[in-house]
Structure 1
Amino acid sequence: MRIIVADCSAEYTGRLQATLPLARRVLLIKADNSLLIFSELGSYKPLNWMASPCTITDITPEQADDDPATPIPQKVIRACATKSNDVLEVTLQHIYADDSYDLGEDPGLIKDGVEDHLQRALAEQIERIGEGAKLVRREYPTPIGPVDIMAIDADGVHVAIEIKRHGGIDGVEQLTRYCELLNRDPLIAPVRGIFAAQTIAPQARVLAEDRGFDCLLLDYDEMRGADDGSLKLF
């Protein structure tokens, strides 16, 4: 893990255009070359990022002979996506810290017991997302973390399912990141998303549906056979 604290600006070009003006930020460059840019505020979500697979290049700019008065940045970090033309270029005007750490092998996230039980039950009863659906696997690996369940629907379309006890906006954002990354892979795209939870906040439902995701209410007691109710797919 490489951690850089710097006054920086950034430009993202490719499938979208985005600009970050000059400000003090934290850059994380992970062992898989993923590049993430964070600010002091904004919870856990990065301001911008380039997910793996990509290549990272460090560039040390040189002063132009015809413009000696213009200050040159200390460094430019360019991240180029492997499977598309997307480029994230970060210009570091002043670097306060640039350190690398070996974090070793991570054992992975140990899920809340109820979420794990919900995931297991839905995987065993995968046709609850739609008749003819088939399970691909639980904990489907991606460079930014495992998708709770990956399935294929009756039409042969891959379905990424994010499971929560209580579905909030953070869970929708998590599913969004998974689907954006998975849809870059031509071997499985298109991938649609399902946001599944025992309860879903109204704001989370609106956001999920706005992004094209289905919302699935999970009745844990019913899934264990405690009553005869049924899941509802909205």
Structure 2
Amino acid sequence: MRLVIARCSVDYAGRLTAHLPSAPRLILIKADGSVSIHADDRAYKPLNWMSPPCTLKEGDGDVWTVVNKAGEKLIITMEEVLHDSSHELGVDPGLIKDGVEAHLQELLADRIETLGDGWTLIRREYPTAIGPVDILCRDADGGTVAVELKRRGEIDGVEQLTRYLELLNRDPHLAPVKGIFAAQEIKPQARVLATDRGIGCVVLDYDALRGIEDDKLRLF
């Protein structure tokens, strides 16, 4: 990971345009190819960002240009660099889910037909180079579907699923892979972003899943 603190202005050119006037900001360039611009507020949320895969070119005149595969651009005009350092973080062991989220994954995997008649489970915690996909399954037509589960569905979860889909769709044995963002509650902004990226949204009732009777061993 590369950390750059600089006085800079930022312009985004893509499906819309946006401008951040000159100010001191933190720029994160991560090993997965993402670039994000942060202020000293807004908690973890960036002011602007470019999701992977994208390329960063540090051009002449202190202008950095980040371009994604859709041709969208993030243009960072550097005025003064206050700090620039790189750190090797290695492979992250991943998030240990809390009891509710882990149980939600277990319940949905066991009742994958909740997502649709004829759906079948491939695997829970399907491994990728950037972490495990919560659930990988097949729909009634045999198509591969990656499911990301959250208790509360926010933009970060959609971004996470987007990165998984990018990797999974490089595998000819799985592609094309669709995405489902499933949560007990999905924030409106997350739903808009997911819909824009062709990702389906499913609101899950944890209590209803937990209360389904297990009839696998019943004869009547």
TM-score normalized with structure 2 length: 0.74
* 1:85 to partner: Cα distance: 1.2
* 1:190 to partner: Cα distance: 7.9
Whole-Å separation in 2 of the counterparts to 1:148 and 1:126: 12
Deviations 1:140-192 (A, max 9, x none): 56787654334443356665533234x2xxx3222332455567789457845
Say which of 104, 107, 111 aligns to 2:93. 107
Closer/same/farther in 2, CA of residues 97 and 143 from structure 1, 3 Å limit: farther
* 1:104 to partner: Cα distance: 2.3
Q: Which amino acid aligns with 1:174?
A: D
Q: Is the 8 A contact 1:208 1:215 kept in 2?
A: no
List alignment gaps of at least 5 residues for structure 2: 170-174, 196-200, 216-220
Q: Which amino acid aligns with 1:13?
A: A
Structure 2 residue matching 1:40: 3-state secondary structure = coil
* 1:195 to partner: Cα distance: 2.7
| Alignment match, 1:23 | 23
**Alignment of structure 1 residues 75-224 onto 2, 5 Å:** 75-81=62-68, 83-139=69-125, 146-154=132-140, 159-165=145-151, 167=152, 171-178=153-160, 187=169, 191-197=178-184, 200=185, 204=186, 206-207=188-189, 212=195, 213-219=201-207, 221-223=210-212
Deviations 1:23-50 (A, max 9, x none): 2110011123321111111121212112
Whole-Å separation in 1 of the counterparts to 2:82 and 2:20: 19
Structure 2 residue matching 1:115: 3-state secondary structure = helix
Whole-Å separation in 2 of the counterparts to 1:94 and 1:147: 40
Whole-Å separation in 2 of the counterparts to 1:185 and 1:107: 18
User: CA RMSD, aligned part only?
Assistant: 3.2
Whole-Å separation in 1 of the counterparts to 2:16 and 2:118: 35
List alignment gaps of at least 5 residues for structure 1: 62-74, 227-234
- Look at both structures and tell me which one has the larger radius of gyration over its CA atoms: 1
| Alignment match, 1:35 | 35
* 1:207 to partner: Cα distance: 5.0
Q: Is the 8 A contact 1:138 1:150 kept in 2?
A: yes
Whole-Å separation in 2 of the counterparts to 1:189 and 1:11: 33
Deviations 1:98-135 (A, max 9, x none): 11112122211111133222212212321111112233
**Identity across aligned pairs (percent)?**
42
Closer/same/farther in 2, CA of residues 143 and 43 from structure 1, 3 Å limit: farther
Deviates more, 1:117-126 or 1:132-141: 132-141
| Alignment match, 1:8 | 8
Deviations 1:193-213 (A, max 9, x none): 33323xx3xxx4655655653
Deviates more, 1:209-218 or 1:23-32: 209-218
Aligned residues: 203
Closer/same/farther in 2, CA of residues 175 and 60 from structure 1, 3 Å limit: same
Q: Which amino acid aligns with 1:133?
A: W
Whole-Å separation in 2 of the counterparts to 1:32 and 1:97: 21
Closer/same/farther in 2, CA of residues 55 and 93 from structure 1, 3 Å limit: same
